[in-house]
């Protein structure tokens, strides 16, 4: 490894680790992602640092835990003074680009509803820290109302070039919406849910979009990525390209042929609610709401659904994944045509998973399970002799350290992730446990206040601990891989629980802000 490689980092949104052909899924077809896995290393034990979009992306880009970097839950921006690994690559001479969903700042203009915080604060000094006076509105809808392309401050968290896509499915905004308005005068009508095409699906958030395939957000991101890679063929400057698709995140809106590509009857709900032997309160409450026919008004809130609706969601999600897979095939082809493929590391990853039927749930929420906490991770490296699968533990917070390690760029003080570069060649894992921080920004069914959760993952067990509550969860991942039997109150597991609680306390101490370093003695 005598030169610094290019990095092409492809991300999907809300994509379960096992929903790939190369991961053993029997129905969803992902030949292009599978081809990447066959050429590189697929991690089989890769976990999020937070199972929520914004905080996990913040952890990825900073290599620091959400409780430290400031992006603790959705709705909080990553502070402008935060360094990212992209800043370091840029400082080392890389041309950097973000194409697609960034979500390092809020992309809605909806005000926060403070359901529980009634504490009166000083109007002149409402927070513990002074405002940094930064503009955190770059991903807001109002920036994209005109025909003129919204310009981002450079660098934007380290990125030289930004082609922004905000929100999800057929309702995406940002630069994509500006592009769409330039492509068709009918743009408003094809985005209007009142004009969706006829269908017989009953699943909430299943909308048959009239947007044609070539105008759907996945296609926009694909074309922008191809254009970027073609331009890179004309320069020797190394590049880092983050290509981030907002699918297969709900709502379920695969366009054109992708809507009918999969049949709901071909899918099974293999882990229904009844499979849990002693469900925690939030599962019990979600079941009560389903039986009462109550679906949350907030489309971002997880819910329990009947088998038919889950199977429909599965089929439509598979269609969205297959569209992304087709796009990835074209992006890799453009990379090869640029002449840069032999010098480029390709990474495939997702920001978090989706219950997708686990205990009859859809979407994501404050119930910890590997369906939302485990994500796909594939690393293809033309200069490293890699193993096909890496089974050791690794986490999202480790990605920054690993990319910098591979690019031979020193990290900054305060980075908390650990490089897993050795695992690519069959070496040992850099960690024997994973800490997952999960702080919600709203109250959920089964909770009286916003859930604040910590998970500890080892090769053998998963511990889940809730702030302010007198219950927890403990699962034996070897004997009970689906996590159907909570051992928290089982006397025979008391020693294991104590050991896991001790390890959790150590992991949380390890996650405390490690800096900045003092310049002189006190």
User: Could you state, in order of their start, the residue ranges of all structural domains in the chain?
Assistant: 6-110+135-273+299-432
Q: What are 140's two structure tokens? A: 């807001």
Say if residues 267 and 315 touch (Cβ distance below 8 Å): yes
Q: Tell me the CA distances in angstroms from 403 to 116, 276, 347, 399, one per residue in order.
A: 40, 39, 10, 6
Q: Among 153-157, 223-227, 376-380, which is the least confidently predicted range?
A: 153-157
The model's pLDDT over 485-518, given as tens digits with 9 standing for 90+, comes to 999 999 999 999 999 999 999 999 999 999 888 8
Residue 461 CB neighbours (<10 A): 21
Averaged pLDDT for residues 332-345 = 97
Dihedral pair phi/psi, residue 176, rounded to 5°: -60, -45
pLDDT-derived band of residue 116, with 50, 70 and 90 as boundaries? Answer: low
pLDDT over 80 (residue 111) = no
Confidence of residue 113 (pLDDT cuts 50, 70, 90): low
* Angstrom distance (rounded) from CA 322 to CA 207: 17
pLDDT at position 112: 66
What digits encode the pLDDT tens for the residues 66-88?
999 999 999 999 999 999 999 99
What percentage of residues in the chain have a pLDDT greater than 70? 98
Q: Which of 160, 260, 166, 247 shows the shortest CA–CA distance to 208?
A: 260
Helix (H, G, I), strand (E, B) or coil at 72: coil
210-223 pLDDT, tens digit each: 999 999 999 999 99
According to DSSP H, which parts of 216-306 are helical? Answer: 217-232, 281-291
Are 289 and 353 within 8 A, CB to CB?
no
Cα angle value 439/455/460 (rounded, 5°)? 165
312 close to 201: Cβ distance less than 8 angstroms: yes
Q: Check whether 459 has a pLDDT greater than 70.
A: yes
DSSP letter string over 36-63?
A: HHHHSEEESSEE-SSSSHHHHHHHHHHS
Interval 404-412 mean pLDDT: 97
Please tell me the predicted confidence (pLDDT) of residue 223.
98
- Give the β-pairing of 173-174 and 394-395: unpaired
What is the per-residue pLDDT for 133? Answer: 73
* pTM across the whole model: 0.96
SS3 content of the chain, % helix, strand, coil (to 5): 35, 15, 50
83-87, 135-139, 192-196, 375-379, range with the lowest pLDDT: 135-139
CA dihedral (174, 297, 248, 462) in degrees, to 10, reads 120
More confident residue, 123 or 393: 393
CA–CA dist 43, 423 (Å, integer)? 9
Contacts 24+ apart (CB under 8 A), 258-261: 258/213, 258/319, 258/320, 258/322, 258/323, 259/199, 259/208, 259/316, 259/319, 260/319, 261/318, 261/319, 261/322
Which phi and psi angles does 150 have, rounded to 5°? -65, 125
User: Which CATH entry fits the domain spanning 6-110+135-273+299-432: 3.40.50.300, 3.40.50.720, 3.40.720.10, 3.40.640.10?
Assistant: 3.40.720.10
In sequence order, what are the beta bridge partners of 452?
439
Q: How far is Cα of residue 216 from the mean position of the Cα atoms in its chain?
A: 20
Question: Residue 244: is its pLDDT beyond 80?
Answer: yes
In the predicted structure, residue 287 carries a pLDDT above the cut 70: yes
29 backbone φψ class: left, alpha, beta (φ>0; ψ -120 to 50): beta
Q: DSSP secondary-structure letter at 212?
A: -
Query: Please, which pLDDT band fits residue 423 given cuts at 50, 70 and 90?
Result: very high
Over residues 389-395, the mean pLDDT reads 98
Q: Does position 335 have pLDDT exceeding 70, yes or no?
A: yes
pLDDT of residue 114: 61
* Phi, psi at 495, each rounded to 5°: -70, -40
């Amino acid at each position: 490894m005598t030169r610094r490689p290019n990095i092409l980092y492809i991300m999907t949104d809300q994509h379960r680790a096992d929903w790939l052909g190369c991961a053993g899924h029997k129905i969803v077809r992902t030949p292009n992602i599978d081809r990447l896995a066959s050429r590189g290393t697929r991690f089989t034990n890769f976990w999020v640092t937070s199972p929520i979009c914004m905080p996990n992306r913040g952890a990825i880009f900073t290599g620091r835990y959400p409780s430290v970097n400031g992006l603790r839950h959705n709705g909080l921006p990553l502070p402008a003074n935060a360094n990212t690994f992209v800043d370091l690559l840029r400082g080392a001479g890389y041309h950097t680009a973000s194409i697609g969903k960034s979500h390092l700042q809020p992309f809605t203009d909806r005000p926060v509803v403070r359901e529980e915080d009634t504490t009166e604060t000083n109007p002149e000094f409402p927070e513990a820290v002074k405002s940094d006076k930064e503009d955190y509105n770059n991903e807001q809808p109002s920036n994209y109302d005109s025909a003129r392309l919204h310009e981002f401050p450079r660098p934007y968290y380290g990125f030289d070039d930004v082609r922004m896509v905000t929100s999800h499915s057929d309702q995406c905004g940002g630069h994509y919406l500006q592009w769409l308005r330039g492509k068709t005068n009918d743009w408003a009508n094809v985005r209007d849910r009142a004009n969706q095409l006829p269908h017989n699906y009953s699943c909430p958030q299943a909308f048959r979009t009239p947007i044609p395939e070539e105008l759907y957000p996945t296609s926009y991101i694909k074309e922008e990525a191809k254009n970027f890679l073609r331009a890179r063929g004309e320069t020797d400057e190394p590049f880092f390209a983050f290509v981030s698709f907002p699918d297969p995140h709900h709502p379920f809106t695969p366009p054109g042929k992708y809507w009918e590509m999969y049949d709901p009857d071909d899918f099974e709900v293999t882990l229904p609610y009844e499979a849990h032997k002693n469900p925690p309160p939030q599962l019990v409450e979600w079941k009560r709401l389903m039986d009462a026919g109550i679906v949350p008004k907030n489309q971002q809130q997880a819910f329990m659904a009947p088998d038919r609706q889950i199977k429909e969601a599965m089929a439509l999600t598979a269609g969205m994944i297959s569209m992304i897979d087709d796009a990835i095939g074209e992006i890799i082809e453009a990379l090869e045509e640029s002449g840069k493929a032999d010098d480029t590391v390709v990474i495939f990853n997702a920001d978090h998973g989706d219950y997708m039927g686990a205990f009859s749930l859809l979407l994501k929420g404050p119930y910890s399970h590997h369906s939302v906490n485990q994500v796909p991770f594939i690393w293809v490296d033309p200069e490293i002799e890699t193993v096909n699968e890496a089974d050791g533990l690794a986490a999202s917070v480790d990605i920054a350290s690993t990319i910098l390690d591979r690019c031979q760029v020193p990290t900054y003080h305060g980075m908390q992730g650990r490089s897993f570069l050795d695992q690519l060649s069959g070496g040992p894992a850099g960690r024997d446990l994973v800490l997952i921080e999960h702080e919600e920004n709203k109250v959920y069914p089964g909770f009286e206040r916003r859930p604040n959760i910590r998970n500890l993952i080892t090769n053998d067990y998963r511990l889940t601990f809730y702030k302010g509550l007198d219950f927890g969860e403990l699962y034996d991942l070897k004997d009970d891989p689906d996590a159907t039997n909570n051992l928290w109150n089982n006397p025979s597991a008391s020693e294991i629980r104590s050991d896991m609680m001790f390890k959790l306390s150590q992991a949380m101490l390890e996650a405390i802000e490690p800096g900045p370093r003092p310049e002189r003695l006190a």
